[in-house]
Structures are given as C-alpha cells and as structure tokens.
C-alpha cells in the first residue's frame, strides 16, 4: 500500500515517512500541494498538512478527492477549531491527525482505514453524489421561489385590477388602503413579514365586488336595504375566491376580505364579530378602508376633509374601530396628510388639463360603508 506524506517541514516529513517505511508501507513525499497533485493518482492514503505553501491543505484534499476518489485522506493539523474541521470535512477529508503526530496511532489509523477502504469509497462516492444533488436542489429551489414570487405578484396585480374593470373609481383606493394598512401595522410594532404581507393583501379586500351585479355596484344613489344585503355578500365572495390558495398573502387577503366590515362593537358584517373576535388584519383594514372612503367622492356623497375624517375615526374608536389600531393610525396623521394632499394636488393638476376641478379623492372610491 502506498502512502503520500504532504508536509512542508522537512524534518517532520522525513520522520513520518521513515517510520511508515519501517512499518512496511511504500511512501511518497511532497513538500507542496502542487507536487502532491502529480503523485495523488498513485496512492492509497494521503497525509495532508493543513498549512502548506501556495495551495492550502484543504484545497489539496478537495483536488485529490476529485482525481482519486478511492484515496483515503487524513488532514494533519495543529488546529482543532470548528471552522478548520468543517472546511476539511466539506473538502472530503476522511479523518484527522493531531500535531505533534503520534506515530503509533497514525499507523493504526492508516491500517484501519485500508481495511475499511470499501466503506470510505462508498461514503465518498455517496457524499459526492449527495453534494451534487443538493447543489441542483438549491438551484432548483432558488429558481422556483424566484418564479413563484414573480408569479404571485402578477396574480396580486391581476386580482387588484379586477375591481378597477368593474368599477373604475376603486383602483387608487385599493392601493392607498394597502399602503395605509402596512404603515399602521408597522406603527403597531408588527414584524416585518406581517407588515409586508398586509400591504400586499389589503388591496384585495374588495375583490368580492366582481360578484355583485352592476345595477347595485354602480348605482349612483343610496342602496335600498335589499340592495345593501346583496352588497354585503362581497365579503364572503372575496373570501371564497382567495381562501383556496396556499399562499400566505392570499390567505391573509381572504381573512381581510371576510372581516374588514366587522366592527369593534359587533355592529358589522357578515358575522357580527365583536372586539378581539375580529382578526388583527380585519381591524387594521377596517380603519384604513373607512378613512379612505370618508375622504373620497362618491356619486351619492361629497368627500369629507382630511381633518374631518381623522376626527371621525378618533370619535369612533372603541365603538366601530379598535382603540389600539386607531391609536397607531392617529400617530401617522402628519405623514398621511402629506401623502393625501400630494395626491390631491396631482389629481387637481391632471383634472385642470381637462377643464374639470376635482375634490379630494374624486374618482378613487366605490366602496359603500
């Protein structure tokens, strides 16, 4: 059996080599990784010092394993830190020899390794195959999640746009409700994942309106009690549409669609839930949706001013809306005012070009509270 001793210290290399020759092994020597590579195809066992000039011992182990899979490789090192062990194992090392080298223990380890060479060969072949499979799986998983993420956002955009095609006034409303809901959740100290999910899910709160007849959805006047009962069904329709998905965002969207018209005192619909029976997502979107509805023009009402809407939300805290959500919402008053007034200015500028003066939120809301 042939053993390759790779050690840059000449005294140590000669001492180990001489002992192994006297023990009956054929021994080859190399003082560098580059020289060792030329000899590695001919050996059964390689003793590789971790610290070598040029190519490191760990790099050499990896190269030897790629050229001679049946070779049993020992890392010889004075280091016993976790990082060295980890890198050595990842490179394909079969075992370790601690410096200063115990020659008798070294001989026993080599003999044992050669007796179990088939095991090492199988193990190394299996690990190489497993590593390749894991690499492919990681690549496939990364590609899958990238494609899934792109697909999900496309679906969200399509679902969000559906309401615009049924009622051209609602698209900007849904966008603002998403933004408002995310900011409220953030102000309440929710974790980043929830904030992101509610920001994307909240715009889907009225997706169920696609199931409401045009004669009711687009009616310019106040709804009759019978018509309002039909309008209420958009909550359960939206839930049925979104709840079939396994996506966390669409599942949250389903929860919001079903509960954003529930009210803190139990006067809402469709189930008349009360207080903390209503999920947090529904409590947040209830405030965001109601505020935006208040400041938006509709065929049957004039918009409230931003100041009036803030005052009304505050007055209804603990009655229609969660006190905790309202508290967070009111802390954002200055920021919300700035965003809405900036959008109002942009809308006014656009409308002036078409000789039409708009009011705050005109043409942006179609939800009936």
Q: DSSP labels for 212-258? A: S-HHHHT-SSPPPHHHHHHHHTHHHHHHHHHTT---HHHHHHHHHHH
pTM score: 0.56
| Residue recorded with tokens 């995310």 | 182
Measured CA to CA, the distance from residue 200 to residue 323 in angstroms comes to 24
Measured CA to CA, the distance from residue 330 to residue 188 in angstroms comes to 11
Considering Cα of 248, then 251, then 257, then 262, what sign does the dihedral take? Answer: negative
Q: Mean pLDDT throughout 324-338?
A: 96
Q: Which residue has the higher pLDDT, 212 or 308?
A: 308
DSSP alpha helix (H) spans, the chain: 10-22, 33-39, 57-67, 82-91, 103-115, 117-166, 171-187, 192-201, 214-217, 225-232, 234-242, 248-259, 280-294, 306-315, 323-331, 333-352
Q: Mean pLDDT throughout 332-346?
A: 87
Fold of 2-115: Rossmann fold (3.40.50)
Q: Which residue has the higher pLDDT, 139 or 296?
A: 296
CATH match for 142-352 among 1.10.1040.10, 1.10.3210.10, 3.60.20.10, 3.40.50.620: 1.10.3210.10
Which residue intervals of the chain bear CATH 3.40.50.2300?
Answer: 2-115
- Look at residue 61 in the predicted model and tell me its pLDDT: 87
First to last CA, the chain: 87
CA angle 175, 180, 181 (to 5 degrees): 100
Kindly report, residue by residue over 3-30, the tens digit of the pLDDT: 999 998 899 899 999 999 999 999 999 9
Q: Which of 127-136, 194-203, 220-229, 267-276 has the highest mean pLDDT?
A: 267-276
Which residue intervals of the chain bear CATH 1.10.3210.10?
Answer: 142-352
Q: Which among 201, 179, 182, 202 has a CA at the least distance from the CA of 190?
A: 182
Q: Is it the case that residue 85 has pLDDT exceeding 90? A: no
Kindly report, residue by residue over 128-177, the tens digit of the pLDDT: 555 566 566 655 655 655 555 555 565 666 566 555 555 545 667 888 89
Q: Which of 207-211, 279-283, 300-304 has the highest mean pLDDT?
A: 279-283
Residue 309: phi and psi, rounded to 5, are: -65, -40
Report how far apart, in Å, the C-alpha atoms of 243 and of each of 19, 204, 286, 357 are: 73, 12, 19, 41
């Amino acid at each position: 059996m042939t053993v390759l001793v790779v050690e840059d210290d000449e005294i140590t290399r000669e001492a180990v080599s001489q002992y192994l020759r006297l023990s009956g092994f054929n021994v080859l020597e190399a003082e560098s990784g580059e020289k060792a590579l030329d000899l590695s195809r001919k050996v059964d066992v390689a003793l590789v010092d971790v610290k070598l000039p040029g190519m490191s011992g760990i790099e050499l182990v990896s190269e030897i394993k790629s050229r001679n899979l049946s070779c049993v490789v020992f890392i010889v090192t004075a280091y016993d830190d976790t990082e060295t062990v980890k890198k050595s194992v990842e490179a394909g090392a079969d075992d370790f020899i601690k410096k200063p080298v115990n020659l008798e223990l070294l001989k026993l380890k080599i003999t044992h390794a050669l007796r179990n060479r088939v095991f090492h060969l199988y193990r190394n072949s299996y690990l190489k195959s497993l590593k390749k499979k894991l690499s492919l799986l990681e690549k496939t998983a990364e590609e899958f999640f990238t494609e899934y993420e792109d697909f999900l956002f496309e679906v969200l955009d399509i679902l969000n746009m559906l309401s615009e095609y049924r009622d051209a006034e609602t698209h900007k409303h849904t966008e603002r409700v998403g933004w408002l809901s995310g900011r409220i959740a953030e102000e309440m100290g929710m974790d980043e994942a929830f904030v992101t999910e509610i920001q994307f899910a909240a715009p889907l709160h009225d997706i169920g309106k696609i199931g409401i007849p045009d004669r009711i959805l687009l009616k310019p006047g106040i709804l009759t009690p019978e018509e309002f009962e039909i309008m209420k069904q958009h909550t359960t329709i939206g839930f049925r549409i979104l709840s079939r998905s396994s996506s966390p965002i669409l599942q949250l969207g389903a929860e919001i669609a079903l509960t954003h018209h529930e009210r803190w005192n139990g006067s809402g619909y469709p189930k008349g839930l009360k207080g903390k029976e209503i999920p947090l997502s529904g409590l947040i979107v209830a405030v965001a949706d109601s505020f935006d509805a208040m400041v938006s023009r509709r065929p049957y009402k004039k918009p409230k001013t931003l100041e009036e809407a803030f005052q009304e939300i505050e007055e209804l805290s603990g009655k229609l809306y969660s006190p905790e959500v309202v508290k967070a919402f009111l802390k954002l008053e200055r920021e919300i005012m700035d965003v809405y007034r900036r959008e109002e200015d942009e809308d006014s500028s656009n409308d002036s070009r078409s000789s039409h003066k708009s009011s705050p939120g005109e043409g942006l809301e179609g939800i009936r509270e």
